[in-house]
Structure 1
Amino acid sequence: MSLKSWAVAAATVALLAVGAPASAATSTIDGSYAFNGNGWAGTLLVSGSASGAPAITMHYTELGRDERLTGSWSAASRTLTINRPLQWNNSQTYTLYLGDHKPNQPVFGGYFTQSDVPGQRYGVYAKDYLPLGTPRTKLFKANDSLPDDLVGFYGFNGNGWTGTMSVQFTQCRVPEINLRYDELGRTEPIAQRTWDPATHTLTFVRPLSFGGVTQTYTLYFANRLQSTQMFGGYFTQSDVPGQRYAAFAFLQPGGVGC
């Protein structure tokens, strides 16, 4: 957020809203992450990011192999880009935006595109950061008892701020969103929201509590299996033009609906 907005926010601590940090809180993005691309779970390993051309290893659990990939890291735009070649001369391009509200606990949210599906974006997130050399023991196993629908109760992360997001329908047609950031301790009903079934994109606007500032969230939905409801994407903030911040959501038990 701008220095002016930050000063206003600091003077109204009781009304503080989640926003962009004045400076990055993450010293490095090198490490391993729990990873999800369009409902496919796995891990992501990043090293050598300071060079701007990190070494990247992607492992999708269902494929059962490590993929050594190329990419780029821009500290200025806080964007990690990954190039993943596929068979038959197709490819995927991952665009991931950093969230670093919690010091040294980076997360990423964004999307990938695929060369043989022009115009479509698929949600991606990377979370549960571990420094390089730290073993990751958690297994990512599907729970196919969860409902296969957009409606549900999700764990949520926006720029490193954790919370929850509930999605329910009015007459099962219009998305209704309630957002709760844990550190703020309140539930925020979202009035402006759209759902595009053609591109599986959920968009909503979140007004902040100072200066008429708003955040616009763009989240790409995946539900390829009953257990893989997730969103990956980003938000922008009206007083920080041109910057995108990680945002993602993952399904939790206790869904809501019609």
Structure 2
Amino acid sequence: MTDEILLGELTTALSCQSGVKIHINYAEKISGGDINETYKLSTTEGSLFLKMNDAHIYPDMFVRELNGLNILRSTNAITVPRPLASGTVGDKGFLVTEFMEKGGVTPDFWENFGASLSRIHRQTQTYYGFPETNYIGTLKQYNTPYSSWPVFYAFNRLQPLTRAAYDQQVVDKGMVVQMEHLWKQLPGMFPDEKPALLHGDLWSGNFMVGKDGRACIYDPAVYYGNREMDLAMTRLFGGFDTRFYYSYQTMYPLAEGWQSRIGVCQLYPLMVHLLLFGGSYYNSVKEILDEF
């Protein structure tokens, strides 16, 4: 980051919001995914993590992420980076959190991770949804409250993405019809269960091994939903160790028939990836829909 004016504005914003006078010595660009610019900040308060993006395109993305980090932290179930500030400097939106140092796994890492997720999922409320619209990747995630999980999943998750994919000519009319057919079957698929607090985007790229050898999770897309969504997401893109799933199931057993619903729950993240990264995910979506 070479823009000294931008760095100065960021220093002021960070000091004001954190309540501590912080001076940024320098910013080192680091890898941090496909969506945001990411930096390691060397400051008078130690190392911090910064992510930035276009404030005009995503004006509220990082304040929504900050809210998500805070609600996950409030569970005291697992390590979550402490958010320090978010806002806009110049034409950039930003989020600053503590910088999490990597460590080596403990022998019970996966068992502890599974148990920690089960404790997050035991946090509940009276409806499916969240008080605000937030983001998954760069896509808006709608959280209009519903008392029914199948209705929530159809109207807030699958329907908006299917419409967007059709408008962008990523899917054809035939797939839209298949999706509509699936929506009608959802009420008979899912048993009644209390809404669970979800990370919302839990895959191998959104956790790390912290200095204490335990899991640290970040980049959330939180809402209260069916907890099978988080578990199904973990099985994509390589999956987690089998000890993770055994521990979770021991601590908080899933409802009968959960195996048959994995694909249905994976449709949402697969549609997100189809919209963000292109047609290579089309066949994965089609394979699931063809089963119904």
What is the TM-score normalised by the length of structure 1? 0.30
The structure carrying a bigger helix percent of its residues is 2
The structure carrying a bigger strand percent of its residues is 1
Instruction: Decide which structure has the larger Cα Rg and report it.
Output: 2
What is the TM-score normalised by the length of structure 2? 0.28
